[in-house]
Structure 1
């Protein structure tokens, strides 16, 4: 979370996706809420692109670092993302990048994002997939596939933690979490043209060059989905891409 280069690279990808969806060249004039901001590097990078950014987190040491480095230009608040201290429809963009697996109630997180984003705004979602082969936090293969009891044993045997706390969902589970939202999938557009989205960190280049039928077949095990969600129907306004964003059919539990 505090690696400067990787966090700014992720911010560049977030900004590129949001800008394409909105059909704009920067984030000027947009009110952005960065959920799970930690040390504030992503928030600062989004501010550099013209946004007015509010960072939220419960990471007190991370927020202290963020305030020391970036507090003169960006606001940071210690707050639970499942109960955001924000008015309804206050944000043009909500950024939620690899956060849902850490919260107690992901449904409450999604409900809060729906509440605080404007009707003409967007929610950027970077969503880890339970069926991704290598678990992203501990770099252990198949860790997130296991029942909780076995996952605890596995991560403990690796020497990397005493317990496995993260709780990922499958693509079907993520579609249920996003029920009531209109979702566009930017995963494959970023894979097909990573340079256009500063997305070189998404997957190894060899994977990105696989034929489209193969990539579609691999959709259930893609490590991370990149979605843009809205509360009212919207369409991407940016130029045509090598692989255009596709709508995601959300489902109710």
Structure 2
């Protein structure tokens, strides 16, 4: 279980929550479950982000769409909406704005397991984001769940968009992430122009390294996208 994928369930019905917890845990996942949104958010702020989150829409404090919006401000964590609401409007909103999948109740256990496995297989290994503080090197650490970074032990706040961009780049460390993918994921399929991305990247670079002559973690691969890289990785090449 040491390398098991971490899943988080937010479901207010105790019987449904326990059933989901059991079938996913039996499949080998490390599962944590909560009955309402505030407790789930607080858990993530304290313990880091999971690999995938299952969200019910009808939660006591605020609905699953609002919870999903707040989660997406922390990082590009895959979300599965699991709900009794089968209306086309709800499905379209869920898929377009927040979720990788939308499953309506009642559901087949094997179907849920298959969909969860399919989604996890499509995402890069983002284990780096699943600790409260992610250390990049001796100068930089990132707190994704609280949208902040520590630069030489000084805390610097990140906007939700900056946190999302950094989450995507660090998750693909050393690889080029296309501008199209960054815009689609960080702005959740809203219409956005490449100039907007360039402005956000400039601000993010300044937060990571305010000295223009210092090491730059984010490299612009012209005409393609952006790459996150560390000094250690540069030295190896």
TM-score w.r.t. length of structure 1: 0.30
User: Which is bigger in relative contact order (C-alpha 8 A, separation at least 6)?
Assistant: 1
TM-score w.r.t. length of structure 2: 0.32
Q: Which one has a bigger Cα radius of gyration? A: 2
